[in-house]
A and B are shown apart, each in its own frame.
Chain A
């Protein structure tokens, strides 16, 4: 009961983390972690009309997806993808619920179209022209693990590269107080079935009863606990240090996933 693949590219965006090389330097201890609001790039890969309509989940997802795919040298027009997050666009959800609570109940058609959980996958497909399959998952705080499992298994069963994109962004108040995600965080990984010249590491995933790993650095540990997609940090730490090893990551109430990381030399 295990699945494996090779990681050929990584993308990261989060509070104080502006791309994978900088995030890796922070995680490996070569650079200090300076918490700061997540800076989300404009999704320049989208046509201007679409770009104007995108909210924060689309910006963070396309940002990390683009970084991982380009650093892996992947042909995005042919790429299968797995998107995973705890929620859809929180701002849009709030605005629709607010509109529905007013007597007129005027819901914006554009907001409604963009309210779907797979809004990120839809815009990625439009941006890249990829007609390949895209799967969109949610497993609440275990969403990263669910996505990693899905993408690893797709890579190994269908023998094709798969882009995993895990992301979350905050809800505005009052929903924020029900689901207090503080900021946007995204991580993407390009997985391939075979080792390539771009491979960073081989990873193998199993289910386990062991407890989740935490981050030794206090601020990174609070980030890991605060944003579901940041549950990936123990895995990113192993990739950043290049040491390899094993990371236990939050998944379901009855099980976690164990990721064995073997760095490619």
Chain B
């Protein structure tokens, strides 16, 4: 594929608002996970909660979109001069020539969850002020972002569970290649809600302790929330120093099970190989892998097998979910931005919380930060329904 420029990017998660804070947390190997006190949730677990979301307001003309998910999107859009960069891109390309593709798994469903507690005792009706279309519906966050940025190109929410906001890069890549658009605002936003906290708990997939990817004692995920965005454009001939490019994308399906990965990671392997093919790279060209690495026994085992079968046992890899938690539909975009920051900073972020690496996992998991020039980074995202997506980012030049 033709490489695309990440002309601007930003990420907001429990380890920081914006790129600088995120980078600093990664350098300090700081985890943002804390014991769950979200809303009225009574589960013994740890979560990655973004501070200040409840206090974030939305512009007056977009009040109908008010919900935690869109507040988190707004908070993230305000970091790193991202909104200004989008407006500059709109001047450069035209508002109709920029697409908007945003990944989410639960959008603003929290509004409906809360409204179900306040149903009319006689009729069972929901409160009149519950705005389904602009909060609960999956398109809400994509529609919020496009209206907030006044972009008028093609738009959609991508909702492929925990691969959602990696797959937005694939949709944008195709639409730019087709000449339908010149640039795309891609990203993901998922916020804490009761459906995912109680749902993963019911599946016994969430840990009572901070998640420990690749640890011998790992026993589940820590749910996080995040919003991360990138402006993808056709790359100009002359690139500024420090530029990061999207070099390859790969997608696949497991065809195996709704909520368990293929035991040998065949779908994951297929997605990684497709990304390498798209980028015309060999496995040895990849300097670091940002894992899906959720910290469930089955995910990490399958992903490790898939990685070893392609890359062998020496390519350094780690999961940043010990720091950020699993941001579900926003994880792909968050980790895409972390991959871009890793390239810019020459930093392989060591996986935090993990104390004893599972000796049966053969992938080369790193717990300590490593500093080295990084040319190319692969990032994995996998989701329920057996959906897989791998992205390859690289330094320009």
* A residues apposed to B, CB below 8 Å: 1-3, 50, 84, 86-88, 93, 96-101, 105-109, 112-119, 121-123, 125-126, 128-140, 143, 146, 149-150, 153-154, 156-158, 173-175, 177-179, 207, 252, 254-255
B224 within 8 Å of A (CB atoms): no
Contact A131:B252 (CB < 8 A) given known A116-B105, A118-B384: yes
Q: Give complex CA distance A179, B138 in Å.
A: 13
Q: Give complex CA distance A129, B194 in Å.
A: 33
Q: Give complex CA distance A228, B116 in Å.
A: 25
Q: Give complex CA distance A87, B387 in Å.
A: 18
Contacts of A138 in B (CB 8 A): 137-139, 142, 156-157, 159
Q: Binary interface profile of B, 357-392, with partner A (CB < 8 Å = 1, else 0)?
A: 000000000000000000000000001111100000
CB < 8 Å: which of B130, B133, B253, B266 contacts A125? Answer: B253
Whether the pair B137, A87 counts as a contact (CB closer than 8 A) is yes
B91 within 8 Å of A (CB atoms): no
In the complex, how many angstroms separate the beta carbon of A67 from the nearest chain B beta carbon? 20
A/B interface sample: 18 pairs, CB < 8 A: A1-B180, A86-B139, A98-B116, A112-B200, A116-B385, A119-B385, A121-B160, A122-B258, A131-B255, A135-B170, A136-B385, A138-B142, A140-B133, A140-B143, A157-B177, A174-B123, A255-B96, A255-B152
Contacts of B177 in A (CB 8 A): 157
B154 within 8 Å of A (CB atoms): yes
In the complex, how many angstroms separate the beta carbon of A94 from the nearest chain B beta carbon? 9
Q: Which of B124, B266, B383, B387 has the most CB atoms of chain A within a 10 A radius of its CB?
A: B387
B259 within 8 Å of A (CB atoms): yes
16 more A-B residue pairs beyond the given contacts A121-B253, A150-B174, A179-B132, with a C-beta to C-beta distance below 8 A: A3-B178, A88-B159, A100-B194, A100-B195, A101-B119, A118-B159, A121-B387, A130-B253, A131-B255, A131-B267, A136-B387, A139-B155, A150-B156, A157-B178, A178-B126, A255-B152
CB < 8 Å: which of A118, A149, A156, A178 contacts B385? Answer: A118
Interface residues in B199-224 by Cβ distance below 8 A to A read: 199-204
In the complex, how many angstroms separate the beta carbon of B355 from the nearest chain A beta carbon? 29
Q: Which of A122, A150, A207, A252 has the most CB atoms of chain B within a 10 A radius of its CB?
A: A122
Contact A101:B116 (CB < 8 A) given known A116-B385, A131-B266, A153-B180: yes
Whether the pair A132, B253 counts as a contact (CB closer than 8 A) is yes
Whether the pair A96, B195 counts as a contact (CB closer than 8 A) is yes
B251 within 8 Å of A (CB atoms): yes
Contacts of A121 in B (CB 8 A): 160, 253, 385, 387
B179 within 8 Å of A (CB atoms): yes
Whether the pair B158, A135 counts as a contact (CB closer than 8 A) is yes
Whether the pair B160, A112 counts as a contact (CB closer than 8 A) is no
Whether the pair B386, A125 counts as a contact (CB closer than 8 A) is yes
In the complex, how many angstroms separate the beta carbon of B175 from the nearest chain A beta carbon? 6
Whether the pair B251, A133 counts as a contact (CB closer than 8 A) is yes
Q: Give complex CA distance A86, B142 in Å.
A: 13
Residue on B with the closest CB to A171? B132
Q: Give complex CA distance A2, B297 in Å.
A: 46
Contacts of B171 in A (CB 8 A): 135, 150
Contact A173:B266 (CB < 8 A) given known A97-B112, A130-B255, A153-B178: no
B287 within 8 Å of A (CB atoms): no
